[in-house]
Amino acid sequence: MKLSAFLSNLIIHFLLAPALIGTTYLYLYPLFQGCGFPEPRSQTPEPATCQAPSSPQSLLTALQAPFQSREGSKAPFRLLALADPQLEGDTSLPPHEDETPFPSLVRLRHEIAEHGFSRVPHAVRVETSRFWTEDISNAIRTYRKKLDLWGNDLYLAHVYRSVRWWADPTHVAVLGDLLGSQWIGDEEFTSRSGRFWGRVFKGGQKIEFGDISGGGSEVMGEAKWKRKIMALAGNHDIGYAGDVDDARIGRFEEAFGSVNYEATFRLNETAGEDVPELRILVLNSMILDEPAKDTRLLDDTREYLNRKLYFELPAPETSTVLLTHIPLYKEAGICVDGPFFDYFDEAYGGGIKEQNHLSQAMSERILDGVIGPERDRAAVILNGHDHSGCHVYHSTQRMLDIEALMAREAGESPGDTWDATRFESAAAQATIANKSLTGVEEVTVRSMMGSYGGNAGLLSAWWDAEAKRWRFEYAHCMCGVQHIWWAVHVLDLVLVALGILWVGVSAVELVRDDGPRVSREKKTS
Ligand SMILES: *[C@@H]1O[C@H](CO)[C@@H](O)[C@H](O)[C@H]1NC(C)=O
Ligand SMILES: *[C@@H]1O[C@H](CO)[C@@H](O)[C@H](O)[C@H]1NC(C)=O
């Protein structure tokens, strides 16, 4: 068999179909999985009525309905929430003595320059063996790691681009741990934040001071906010309370925007007096618990929380979407991460070194705050940190009993007033429907990293005019582990390379086959 025939067989029978299917799936995965923002629905579903279409006119409208309703029934507020991209960088590369990939060659040159040519045979012997045993394997590891980092950036970019294109969010948030380490130098920090904006979230824009300082509300769905990215601070960006200082916060805010702010949005309605509003509250939870290295920063953050959740309250119908990095307290066993605290040694300040959840007292302070003094405001909390993700319902008494009220007035935590369960079991046990209880949904968004399947969270909010209340619903969309992304692109690359080879080989064979025939023809003529 000719080489060209072998190549075309290989391409057509073995590579083309998998490459086409893989590529189509990878680039349209949100469509194939039916991902999308949950659509508004009535909380108390009416029994479905089935009426026969009575005239051709209504038959036509009935046929068109599924297509027309899609646009009209979209939720007005659609938040794309991504968690923990954790961009790695040079700290995860194997160490090098020099910047060069082959330090033994440099050492050899130094040796000769210093000691003259008499040492050459010995130096060559030593450095040659080190070249083979150390340099080559280090160089391979370094370039493999660099390729990994590059591929990882493109994979994350693919997740963001695909879901954003397909689902059309009105807002985008990245819920902290944007970078992989808080202990990197300024140069590396600049390089990674450059990759964040230039490669992974290309086209996204940082929240500027002018975007959030206005005080008023903006219309939901404006093009401007579709490009903005609310990039939150996580422990790998600025450190935990025992670590955070002004310098770390300063460089973070310069690159990614403020760590604490609120932005309020209203429905695009002009009719009526009170247009329903929704408030996004971004809270830096890295420095809310004690002990902290910088107590002034701790006081400032707590003061911000108190102001936004207890003193400067929006209208009662206004709901809060609280975005933060660390999940709220819940007992072990509800989510993958249970409660956990670790502290620095006294010699290093004794502050918080690591935490899985906020403390119970701080969590209850937040929960009591978001449901408001009437204890019935609708709110939802989104965070990251626990890479596996978790969906929880925090419930509490709608009315506080007298003991709990007195404890609150004395400034103590009422204690045990909040109860967390997995969202599905809260729904199944009718905790959510229980009229004597109220509650808050908390979604810990699963990480967007490849090893967690490239997850994207989709939170919808819509106004329930009947109940005069905002409604929330969460869904998610998974791309699949990064190996799928790699496999599809490598397959495509191989296919293209073989295609080019086939064209070349066919051309050569054509010339070679034609050659003798032409000369034969010449002879016979
Ligand atoms: C708000 O509604 C008006 C009138 O229906 C429409 O022209 C405009 O595009 C809407 N704005 C947004 C941001 O959706
Ligand atoms: C509602 O919750 C209260 C307090 O937890 C409980 O005592 C009561 O039985 C619940 N009601 C229903 C109908 O589940």
pLDDT at residue number 423 = 96
Ligand closest to 76 (CA) is 1
**482/465 Cα distance (integer angstroms):** 43
Q: What amino acid occupies position 83?
A: A
User: Which of 396, 434, 435, 438 for a ligand 2 pocket mutation test, highest count of atoms within 8 Å of Cβ?
Assistant: 434
**Pocket flag, ligand 2, residue 436 (CB < 6 Å):** yes
Pairing state of beta strands 205-206 and 228-231?
Answer: parallel
What does DSSP assign to residue 73?
A: T
**Which ligand has the shortest distance to the CA of 426?**
2
Closest residue to atom 10 of ligand 2, CA basis: 434
Q: What's the CA-to-centroid distance between 268 and ligand 1, angstroms? A: 6
Return the residue whose CA atom lies nearest to atom 1 of ligand 2.
434
Q: Which residue has the higher pLDDT, 20 or 62?
A: 20
- Looking at all shown ligands, the one closest to residue 220's CA atom is 1
Q: How far apart are alpha carbons 192 and 330 in whole angstroms?
A: 33
369 CA from centroid of ligand 2 (Å): 23
Residue pair 80/204 in contact by the 8 Å Cβ criterion:
no
Residue 404, number of CB atoms within 10 A of its CB: 18
Ligand 2 closest atom vs CA 397: 4
* Residues 446, 455 contacting (CB under 8 angstroms): yes
Q: How far is the CA of 398 from the centre of ligand 2 (A)?
A: 11
pLDDT of residue 73: 84
Q: Determine whether the shortest distance from the Cβ of 429 to ligand 2 is under 6 A.
A: no
Q: Which amino acid is at 187?
A: E
Per-residue model confidence as pLDDT tens digits over 261-302: 999 999 998 766 788 999 999 999 999 999 999 999 999 999
CA torsion, points 95, 97, 102, 108, in degrees to nearest 10?
-160
Residue 455: strand pairing partners: 478
Q: How far apart are CA 263 and CA 308, in angstroms?
A: 12
- For ligand 1, atom 14: residue with the closest CA: 221
What does the pLDDT look like over 104-125, one tens digit per residue? 888 888 888 888 777 788 888 8
| pLDDT reading at 416 higher than 80 | no
Q: Whose CA is nearest to atom 3 of ligand 1?
A: 268
Our CA dihedral for 492, 494, 497, 500, rounded to 10 degrees, sits at: -70
> What's the pLDDT score for residue 58?
46
Q: Which atom of ligand 1 is nearest to the CA of 221?
A: 13
Give the pLDDT confidence of 171-225 residue by residue, as tens digits. Answer: 999 999 999 999 999 999 999 999 999 999 999 999 998 888 777 889 999 999 9
Helix H or strand E encompassing 397? strand 390-397
Task: With beta carbons less than 8 A apart as the criterion, state whether 420 and 393 touch.
Answer: yes
CA dist 457 and 83 (Å) reads: 8
Instruction: Give residue 70 CA to ligand 2 midpoint distance, Å.
Output: 38
For residue 517, what pLDDT band results from cuts at 50, 70 and 90?
Answer: low
Q: Is the peptide bond before 291 cis (omega within 30 degrees of 0)?
A: yes
Binding site membership of 437 for ligand 2 (Cβ less than 6 Å): yes
Helix (H, G, I), strand (E, B) or coil at 331: coil
Distance CA 203, CA 405 (A): 49
Q: Does the beta carbon of 435 sit less than 6 angstroms from any atom of ligand 2?
A: no
Dihedral angle over CA of 451, 452, 456, 462, nearest 10: -170
Beta bridge partners of 393: 421, 441
Answer for the pair 297, 355: CB distance below 8 angstroms, yes or no.
no
Number of the ligand closest to the Cα of 435: 2
**Is the Cβ atom of 407 under 6 angstroms away from ligand 2?**
no
H/E element, 388:
none
Tell me how far apart the alpha carbons of residues 409 and 244 are, in angstroms, rounded to a whole number.
32
Average pLDDT of every residue of the chain: 88
**What's the pLDDT at 270?**
72
CA pseudo-torsion sign 473, 446, 229, 25 = negative
> How would DSSP label each residue in 139-194?
HHHHHHHHHHHHHHHHHHHHHHHHHHHHH--SEEEE-S--BS-SS--HHHHHHHHH
Whose CA is closest to atom 13 on ligand 1? 222
385: alpha, beta or left, given left = phi > 0 and alpha = psi -120 to 50?
A: left
**Does the CB atom of residue 430 touch ligand 2 within 6 A?**
yes
- What would the two tokens of residue 261 be? 């702010």
Measured from CB, residues less than 6 Å from any atom of ligand 1 are: 219, 221-222, 268
pLDDT above 70 covers a percentage of the chain that reads 88
Q: How would residue 96 be classed by pLDDT, with cut points 50, 70 and 90?
A: low
